[in-house]
Structure 1
Amino acid sequence: MMILSHDQTRLLLQARTAGADSAMISLDLGLSQTEVRLDAEGVRFPTGAFVGWPEIAHIHKNPVACFRVTSEGIEKVQVFSEAFNRLYSLMPTSGAPTMLISGIPMHRIKDTDPWRDSEQKIRAAAPKGRVLDTCTGLGYTAILAARRAEHVTTIELDPAVLDICRQNPWSRPLFDNPAIVQRIGDSADLLPDFEDASFDRIIHDPPMFSLAGHLYSTDYYRQ
């Protein structure tokens, strides 16, 4: 899966202006670099996919969006949740992308990026043994915890969020790492399913209060 944002299109437009016939860009939001070919019509990718210059310009004019390259052109990375009446989309940053929940970033992005922010939280939590991550989101917490812990169980309320994860290159280990087990549902409802002392560490980093106020309640923390 190839994902483009304004960071990549800026380089492509600069290369076009310079008269270059190729450019090195990331097709996975900064994880790696790939050479693409440029011609008068647009950009040609190693897979055979093609994106015209008008589409490249469209991406460049949308700095808070990521776009998936398909056989038919480009599609914005976004999913509408019918269950919760929320629009989720992927937003590029200086590092790993964040997710917008109805237009609001779910991570701290001022003077940091979501990956570095998650790394700081993991250092503080010092995961080991069996870990419970109560709110999956883009999966960065679970992915980083699994680098230290033997097993990570991560819970996501909305399946639509996992649809965004599947399109986010930085979330790939969430599905590839056998040490990570996903559960779907409200963590407040699922916690009673686990026996007492099932986990050596519990990492609880819920979304903003207006989206999940019950995850801040005394009853929840008592569980």
Structure 2
Amino acid sequence: MVVLSHYQVKLVLDALRNGLGTLSMSLDLGLSTTQLSVDAHGLQLPNGELLKLRDVEEIAKSTSSCFVIDDGETRAIQFYSEATERVYSLYPTIKAPTMLVSGIPMHRIKDTDPHQDTLEKIRAIKPVVGQVLDTATGLGYTAIEAARTAEHVTTIELDPAALKVCELNPWSQELFDNPKITQLIGDSFDVVAEMEAGRFTRVIHDPPAFNLAGDLYSGEFYRELYRVMRNRSLLFHYIGDPESKSGRSITAGVIRRLEQAGFRQVRRAPRTFGVVAMK
């Protein structure tokens, strides 16, 4: 599978302008590099296919999409969900891509990148050990990073359309390959309510924006998270920019409801745009 964005194909156009017949570039959004041949007709791919120059130029023009090249066809990685009436697409950055949900990025990308954003969330509740719950799979970055040190990770995704994006994202492949990760499909509000008590030592709650998933910010849901956590376990809850007007208001409400649900040592984690709490 070849997946490209404007960051990668820019190298192809630069090579042609400089009269070069070969170049080293990534075919998996920056995870690895490959030596390839290029000429006025296009880019010669390892499987023998030719990525035509007009397709290279089309990808270069699109700064907000990633493209999969398969059987000679080039298409943007984007899916519409009839279940949620949302559009999911893969948005390129200089490093790991993020996912747009109806145009809203699911990771911080200003002054950081999705991979670094994920690492900072993990560090907020280190060491990440034992049984881990990830309440919102997204592109799977949280589950993948948590599984590096945890005994096991259970991750929940509301919309199968989001997982279709994951399947085509090179940075998400460990989500499907790592036996330490279990994927569940459903609404976290309902799925967590069916889980046994005292199961998890770490919970990473990184829900969609408040206006998209208000029930995942409710006291009722926080009580369920508290129930499924072990004593002295840690919760990281991503909220959003604490310096924004809406962020300040939402953060204050989240802290109040977490404390009412029984959590203690609830503290702001401004570096990661969230809060940390202990059961």
> What is the TM-score when the length of structure 2 is the normalising length?
0.79
CA-based RMSD of the aligned residues comes to 0.8
User: SS state of the match for residue 69, structure 1?
Assistant: strand
Residue in structure 1 matched with residue 115 of structure 2 by the alignment: 115
Structure index of larger Rg: 2
Matched residues in 2 for 1:191 and 1:104: separation?
25
Matched residues in 1 for 2:111 and 2:22: separation?
33
User: SS state of the match for residue 57, structure 1?
Assistant: helix
Matched, 1:63 2:63: yes
Unaligned runs of 5+ in 1: none
> What is the TM-score when the length of structure 1 is the normalising length?
0.98
Q: Deviations over 1:59-81 (max 9, x none)?
A: 00101110001122311111111
CA shift for structure 1 position 40: 1.9
User: SS state of the match for residue 125, structure 1?
Assistant: coil
Matched residues in 2 for 1:98 and 1:49: separation?
28
CA shift for structure 1 position 94: 1.8
Unaligned runs of 5+ in 2: 225-279
Residue in structure 2 matched with residue 222 of structure 1 by the alignment: 223
Q: Tell which deviates more after alignment, 191-200 or 149-158.
A: 191-200
Residue in structure 1 matched with residue 50 of structure 2 by the alignment: 50
CA contact under 8 A between 1:100 and 1:106: conserved in structure 2?
A: yes
Matched residues in 2 for 1:122 and 1:148: separation?
10
CA shift for structure 1 position 51: 1.2
Matched residues in 2 for 1:73 and 1:22: separation?
23
Q: Percent identity?
A: 55
Residue in structure 2 matched with residue 182 of structure 1 by the alignment: 183
Matched residues in 1 for 2:158 and 2:177: separation?
20
Residue in structure 2 matched with residue 165 of structure 1 by the alignment: 166
Structure with the larger RCO, 1 or 2 (CA within 8 Å, 6+ apart):
1
Letter in 1 for 2:160: P
